[in-house]
Amino acid sequence: MQLQDVFKCLLDQRASSMHLSPGSPFLMNLNGRLCPASTNILTESEIDSFSQNIMSPGLQDKFQHEQSINFTHSHDAWGRFRVSLYRQRGRTNVMIRPIADRLPQLQDLHLPPAVEALAGIQRGMIIFTGPAGSGKSTTIAAFINLINQTRRCHIVTLEDPLEYFHAPQLSLVSQREIGPDAHTFARALRGATRQDADVIVVGEMNDLETISIALTAAETGVLVLATMHTADCVQTITRLIGAFPSPQQQQARTQVAAALRAVICQHLVMTNDSSRRVPAAEIMVVTPGIQSLVRENKVQQIYSAIESGAEHGMQTLDQALQKLFSDNVISELEVVTQSNRPDLLRDKIGKTSIPTPEELDGKSFIDLGEEMISIDQKTVRYKAQFIPGTESYWTSSVAVQFSGEGLNLTLLPGMPVNRLYVSDFNIVGKHVKPFELPKRLLIRFRVTTDHPPVTESAPELQLKLFTQPESGNLASYNKINVSYPLPAPDAKWHTWVITLPLDAQGKLLKITMFEFPVFLTKVTISDIIFF
């Protein structure tokens, strides 16, 4: 792939971002995972040339002066992109994120109904928080769009850079970009309070002056929508008050209690089928009880108030994760990874992560169906990495292809293939270190076919483990061969936990092979974990 193809590739692969760094290949963010988009290694001169081509002379001067810059770039064929340039180790790096070509609608964002209800608030402050890339800008854009459609008012947005364009509907929308239209958020915010604004959107609220002006505006009858980079609602309140010097913090608590209306903290979590990410939102609506807790500096009790505030539309992040898990949207692995209190939440969802030997009931393996399970990382000996560009460490009777879903084997019509297998040669190829086989193997896969088998024998998946001999001819491997009944090729995911044979445990693994029936059309493997 060439640099001029970056924008097309981002859209074609539906990636959330692209990273360009000297000495590395193109890296795409696919559902939260950085994956190489090609084997081409980027050079410093290539990235410098690309950066100069997408910046105006004014932006080039600013980048040279400040060493980092954020801006939007419009491509005639591929639309608009958010670009962040920065220097690291004296070299230019680039992050590119596509901007949707249409305004988002709140009902399309899969957020709880309580979030849309908050759009009816006409004064005070609503803060949107969460890590970078969690969808805060998209949610605020949807808020602005809804207000623009339903209220006759003046909306002033302060952004760095401008992302979504809002054409006036019922409202007048004034969009100001930090840099071209205003020097700083604080100065632009102070100006907005004098511009008859009914709604002010603050793209970033992270310094005392901006926070102070925004709180004052919210107290005087303006609706302020702002973003902060905090992990939860309680931390957001702590950050707001902590921005003030100690002598002023009691006054700040009074201001925050009076002005704040709600905090929405977003996280994006992976769905069960690994095809997309959905939001898990912690929502705090400021009730009289929460106002008292803020004023009295009892912030740590707010979490319990959110937990018991369902009648007001409130929920904690753990409650959001628990609901997504109960609705079979996300896996237990995603729940415990994203939770602030994973041990407590694991008890609540009442599931055992890893089957015990007693649960196997004498079986050598258990099929957990479409469920994805969590594994204590301390017990993992090896986890296969399906990174595009490393297919050469795998051998197969057909071409091996890596995608965002994992490893893919596709048997096309007419292929003269007698066996459908794939072998992991990462250890033999010295890509990963050898390890002693533990007790269990997890494999998550799905299989499909266009022509079911005509044989009466049940199809099987064969597992072949090649281990290093303890003595003698070290060039020849010991082979352990076991087979398991294969589920119907229904295109559903299957998570198998296999108890490895006793004579294999403790042996030094060299090669792992999986052999599938040749009547299958496609095999996808998302996880191979020895633990």
How confident is the model over 433-485, as pLDDT tens digits? Answer: 889 999 889 999 999 887 665 555 678 899 999 998 765 554 567 888 888 88
Residues 6+ apart with CB under 8 A from 255: 215, 216, 219
- The structural domains of the chain, with segments of one domain joined by +, span 3-98, 106-299, 365-530
Nearest to 122 by CA among 157, 150, 162: 150
Q: What is the pLDDT of residues 308-342, one digit of tens each?
A: 999 999 999 999 998 898 887 887 777 877 887 77
Whole-structure pTM over 0.85, yes or no? no
The angle that helices 185-192 and 208-219 make with each other, rounded to 10 degrees, is 20
Q: What is the pLDDT of residues 8-50, one digit of tens each?
A: 888 888 888 899 999 888 888 887 777 787 777 889 999 999 9
State yes or no: pLDDT of 58 exceeds 50.
yes
Q: Are 224 and 125 in contact (CB under 8 A)?
A: yes
CATH architecture of residue range(s) 106-299: 3-Layer(aba) Sandwich (3.40)
Least confidently predicted of 208-212, 260-264, 350-354, 488-492: 350-354
**Cβ count within 10 A of residue 1:** 13
State yes or no: pLDDT of 234 exceeds 70.
yes
**What DSSP state is assigned to residue 164?**
S
Q: Select, from the ranges 230-234, 410-414, 457-461, 473-477, the one with the highest average predicted confidence (pLDDT).
A: 230-234
Least confidently predicted of 61-75, 140-154, 339-353, 441-455: 339-353
Give the H or E element holding residue 49: helix 44-54
pLDDT attached to residue 358: 41
Alpha-helix residue ranges (DSSP H) falling in 91-150: 113-118, 136-150
CATH architecture of residue range(s) 3-98: 2-Layer Sandwich (3.30)
Beta strands in 22-102 (DSSP E): 27-30, 33-36, 68-75, 79-88, 91-98
CATH domain 365-530 topology: Jelly Rolls (2.60.120)
